[in-house]
Structure 1
């Protein structure tokens, strides 16, 4: 077990009054059941029944149409959530928490389960002799109003916590903002979630919290739990928090992934004179799949409002050494820290799907010996149309088309998953355009109501 695995560190174990079994659905919503210790003991190895509808409804709780049902889906068939006991923690006194994976009745892993999708990429890397190490930078926006008041206001015209001005790395935030972040990191420490830093970000009320490098599955588990902690602390303090990719008409917010591969204990992305050959293959795979992976990293209508030139997020399918304007930034020349920073995902992303897409791209590059295209040495924003560098799909419909046509992602993620995810996003696009969304608004009320609490 990794020393950064989720464990209750140096905390005496108290008798559990209840267990919470947890997982994410396709939209990345954290969900589960609270059961008695006796019920948990009876289902620990056989799993806990969940209706398959959790993968068949949208964020407005409408049933999604347009996806072909495989054999395991039907009229509210049960699928089993099997707890992963390596994730057990004491969530609060008397309540223990365990994350799990969804399995089918025949004992096979559910092919669209977010956690299983990551496992498949990890296993394939292991077959090649590699282990991945991943860290994430989570951006979020905090508001003075309670979640109840935010609801009453339709999640609009809220007051940024810490002051109305935006800055970066600014320590002049008011103490209410600092108190909130210190309460969050105290809770993470109690849960054994290893964080490295937090800081003021560009927009009013915005913060960035960095989760320390670890294996991909532990990272994703820590990520979804961190989001839950930030929501609970906000409720406790009478505040509200959102992970929408663009919660106001101002700055957006992302979730940058930093990835490296190790083999025989050494960083395989390191070379003394720049990117290693393996890193260049990984770049080749990530660039080849970036258009298709956009739908994984940008899952909601609001996700695409974030793609504005010269505002922070990448807008082109580009890479470069130490180039933060590119979608893929290579950090090179350091034996320990050489890595790739994948800058496309928004803060509204499903962590497991985003990681699965990135690892799939890296695998494709390595296994198929793909060459990295020429890097962008200058600013990767505002490039002319004839420069040979394509833009990241700028709408959900364009991203759906790109994923649907990507043979590499179909090979590594599976046809069933790709067809399922594309169909679910087509439904999301249709709901936006037929139930009150406004494509011409900087941010429509439909998006605030749908995404503010559950991103």
Structure 2
């Protein structure tokens, strides 16, 4: 196949398949496989994807009950445009490329997660800033194969590596270490840089830290790293899930760390604590936090994590080096001064999370929003602290009325997202969900494999 190798496509001579990749609004990694000749012919013009990829819920049912944008409703084709800078050799004979979704008239699809994240990155750049982000990927590993897990309804599974649930525990069985070593090796092979991986709090749980970088590249690496973790689990006869709370025990998160730079200088740094820019960024993040929670905690199960003293933040708070608050400020270092946004669950779509975080930061810096005093004690179990919305519908209502996020993210995205969250609530209550269970069978079936 060497004749199809061109400078414009960058395909290797032995390639027999090119995989197109992107997330939908739910965070699912979607795509299709095309022949090299087809890829060469269409890489410039794009590839057709039916608009149902943004219209189906996680149960594969079309979501109704809210206004569709002009491009939705009759299974029209959207245009997938590959970003050739993301083309990698995934495995022998298979290359993959990440892209974005566009309408037939050449305008971006307003709810395409990657397009939305890029819009906010560009808006930040127009103000003279760049952002550096990092993500902590948490997942739970089980000994059973995916077929065994499906047969058991994803319940009563055996944690890989033993039942110990203490963070940083090194006395794990060989299968757990072999799995994570294989994941790290695969990430190295496809060029995704990682910093560390370790045991997390829950039995079978792991945290994988990717190298900080620009927002879009880190989101791309996040999407691919999760795909690697799934593929390695399947290959080794195990199961991995990014469900927010796969058992009645601990949940799992996707903490996002972020700093701002101007002309290569970290503007969050000040010798004596948070810089004025960091304070204004915190102010914007807190001002938008209730509405942002709908995006950070997207599913029914996401809200089961919000238990005081169990790890996740439950209040609209910030603090300096305080991990019980929703935003933790890390201060005092010219390079590493940053904000850690601790609300997102493991089931979040990182592109949307980053876009929403940047929206709050931009609003805070533009408006010089002053935050309240930092919380220096534990931010749990304090009656006079404002709490995060604790259900999918409360969070959707908060987003619907958030004028800042509407301005930054756009009415089309906000209205569509709110509609899909209300649809998810209705599906839960009408197709078998149990609001009184610690974790219902409906949730396991719907969220264990997706997103």
Question: Which TM class, normalised by the smaller chain length?
Answer: over 0.9
Cα deviation, residue 348, structure 1: 0.5
Q: 1:450 aligns to what?
A: 446
Q: Secondary structure at the match of 1:363?
A: helix
- Is residue 2:434 matched to residue 1:438? yes
Q: 1:355 aligns to what?
A: 354
- Is residue 2:419 matched to residue 1:419? no
Counterparts of 1:300 and 1:45 in 2: how far apart (Å)? 36
Counterparts of 1:353 and 1:38 in 2: how far apart (Å)? 33
Moved more, 40-49 or 411-420: 40-49
Cα deviation, residue 118, structure 1: 0.3
- Is residue 2:11 matched to residue 1:15? no
Q: What are the Cα deviations for residues 300-348 of structure 1, in whole angstroms up to 9, with x where unaligned? A: 0000000000000000000000000000000001001000000000001
Alignment of 1:202-351 (within 5 A): 202-351=201-350
- Is residue 2:139 matched to residue 1:143? no
Counterparts of 2:115 and 2:389 in 1: how far apart (Å)? 27
Q: 2:62 aligns to what?
A: 63
Q: Secondary structure at the match of 2:420?
A: helix
Alignment of 1:380-399 (within 5 A): 380-384=379-383, 387=384, 389-399=385-395
1:405 to 401, 407, 412: 401
Cα deviation, residue 74, structure 1: 2.9
Counterparts of 2:36 and 2:175 in 1: how far apart (Å)? 38
Q: 2:5 aligns to what?
A: none
Cα deviation, residue 164, structure 1: 1.0
Cα deviation, residue 13, structure 1: 4.6
Q: 1:3 aligns to what?
A: none
Q: 2:98 aligns to what?
A: 99
Counterparts of 1:190 and 1:263 in 2: how far apart (Å)? 33
**Contact between 1:14 and 1:93, CA under 8 Å: does it hold in 2?**
no
Counterparts of 1:225 and 1:176 in 2: how far apart (Å)? 22
Cα deviation, residue 67, structure 1: 2.3
Structure 1 vs Structure 2 CA RMSD: 0.9
Q: Secondary structure at the match of 2:141?
A: strand
Counterparts of 1:421 and 1:406 in 2: how far apart (Å)? 13
Counterparts of 2:13 and 2:372 in 1: how far apart (Å)? 55
Q: What are the Cα deviations for residues 88-123 of structure 1, in whole angstroms up to 9, with x where unaligned? A: 101111111000000011111111100000000000
Q: Secondary structure at the match of 1:214?
A: coil
Cα deviation, residue 14, structure 1: 4.7
Q: Secondary structure at the match of 1:202?
A: coil
Cα deviation, residue 201, structure 1: 0.5
Q: 1:4 aligns to what?
A: none
What is the TM-score with the length of structure 1 in the denominator? 0.96
Q: What are the Cα deviations for residues 156-196 of structure 1, in whole angstroms up to 9, with x where unaligned? A: 00000000121111111111100000000000000110100
Cα deviation, residue 43, structure 1: 1.4
Counterparts of 1:74 and 1:444 in 2: how far apart (Å)? 32
4+ residue runs over 4 A deviation? none
Alignment of 1:84-233 (within 5 A): 84-233=83-232
Q: Secondary structure at the match of 2:208?
A: strand
Cα deviation, residue 369, structure 1: 1.2
Q: Secondary structure at the match of 1:374?
A: coil
Counterparts of 1:283 and 1:90 in 2: how far apart (Å)? 40
Counterparts of 2:377 and 2:70 in 1: how far apart (Å)? 51
Q: Secondary structure at the match of 1:380?
A: coil
